[in-house]
Structure 1
Amino acid sequence: MLDTVLTGRDAPARLIALPGVYRPQSDTRLLADALSREEPGPATEVLEIGTGTGALALCAAGAGARVTAVDVSWPAVIATRLNALRHRLPLSVLHGDFATRTRGRRFDLVLANPPYVPSPRARPPSYGAARAWDAGPDGRAIIDRICASAPELLRPGGVLLMVHSGMCGAASTVDHLRRGGLTVAVVSRAVVPWGPVLRSRRAWLLSRDLADGDEQEELVVIRARRP
């Protein structure tokens, strides 16, 4: 399923992405690799936070897992539903805030590729394409919410896999999750060139000591397990 959804020269044609919906990129692929190592199956109940086009949710569903995908963006919800129909895979796709829409539920596996790009804006935007990546001045506005919610979202033995930029502070994420009683490790790293959003903020990022000017970004996947 990973090869079908995320790779190949015609991969963009395999996934419908409405305007403003985040398309699969290097972070998506890094998280998909980590997902494949978890070997989800029919007994696995999966939540994807911020599903975008639904690429990762489809990967999990293709392995037989029961998948719930959540996004605050209506275009992302519609795109994911269309992609699920196109690939003939069952997904439950919900619109809204992940914490509100999943209250009282627990999962075996939680996937998150949240907005994590540091932004001069004090708060993440509430509309527009930038809500898929802008996450406050330190890039942690959504990351910290996921860390705080993870212990209640996971069943005993359940796993959170979250990808984000190294400039957001992987050590801070690890510490936050450990304070919630989870067993935590960075399980994947990759270095990728800056995209257009980071390049447009070069001077601001340098002024905040969030970058060193080489225009390379480290991505990390953090795995947290509830004992």
Structure 2
Amino acid sequence: MYRPQEDSWLLAQAYGSAGPPPGAKVLDFCTGTGILAVTAARAGAESVTALDIAPRAVFTARLNAWSRRLPIRVLRGGLGVAHRLAPFDVIVSNPPYVPAPGGAYDPRWDAGPNGRSVVDPLCREIPKLLRPGGFALVVHSEFTGVDTTLEMLRAGGAKATVVARERIPFGPVMRSRTEYLKQLRNDSAADASVLTVENETEIETEEVVVIRADRPEHTG
């Protein structure tokens, strides 16, 4: 099981700073070990549901909830299950978001050539899963496309902004893909001068960001 890393701790801190309402109904989507579900339950959420498609993640999250005597419901499933249980006051998610070149694929972190195979569907559905006045917190890397995430959430009617960020050293997976990540960064740069600088500079770190999406109380 993939142990919590800096992105999980950054998301947990953002959850604490977000001021979730007392007695909130919370969804931890792509729960992994269940660290965010545990954070929400300890912060006073009335109902916490943790979802993951991986059987090992479901087992681990259940074990972590049980060992801490926390009333967390852990289920195997994806967005379809989330819709059956919606609406939620708060959604937290640390989805797989690492860009995967060629045939590289590990479901614990890989998410297609641009790192958005899980993030894109999630962004489209978040506004539908939240109750009016609810909010979501999603964490991912700069290489996944922060502006794209903000634009998708806003297109769905949510107010979206970056609420936390941290620059961290590459881990083993990212280090193994330095050239591919450099190319992704260059492809997304509009300024030719930026391309020149990036081509001459080795990249060894990534900025991880937490994006908050609020569903307005009223529309129109």
- TM-score > 0.5, shorter chain as reference: yes
CA distance in 2, matches of 1:183, 1:216: 29
Which sections of structure 1, spanning at least 5 residues, go unmatched?
1-20
Paired position in structure 2 for 1:6: none
Q: Residue in 2 aligned with 1:162?
A: 138
Residue 215, structure 1, aligned to residue 195, structure 2: no
Unaligned runs of 5+ in 2: 187-197
Cα deviation 1:48-105 (Å, max 9, x = unaligned): 01111111100101122110000011111001111111100000101022x1112241
Q: Could you tell me which of 17, 28, 49 is aligned with 1:68?
A: 49
Match of 1:153 among 126, 129, 135: 129
The residue that corresponds to 1:53 in the other structure is 33
Which residue of structure 1 lines up, in the alignment, with residue 11 of structure 2? 31
Distance 1:181 1:108 in 2: 16
Runs of 4+ displaced beyond 4 Å: none
Correspondence for 1:86 among 67, 75, 91? 67
Task: Give CA deviations for 1:15-70 in whole Å, capped at 9, x if unaligned.
Answer: xxxxxx22111000110011001233552000001111111100101122110000
Contact between 1:49 and 1:71, CA under 8 Å: does it hold in 2?
A: yes
Equivalent residues of 2:182, 2:203 under 8 A apart:
no
Structure 1 residues 1-227: aligned runs within 5 Å: 21-40=1-20, 42-65=22-45, 66-97=47-78, 99-104=79-84, 105-121=86-102, 125=105, 130-209=106-185, 213-227=202-216
Alpha-carbon distance in 2 for matches of 1:40, 1:69: 17
Q: CA RMSD in A?
A: 1.6
- 2:143–2:185 CA contact under 8 A, matched in 1: no
Greater C-alpha Rg: 2
SS across alignment from 2:17: helix
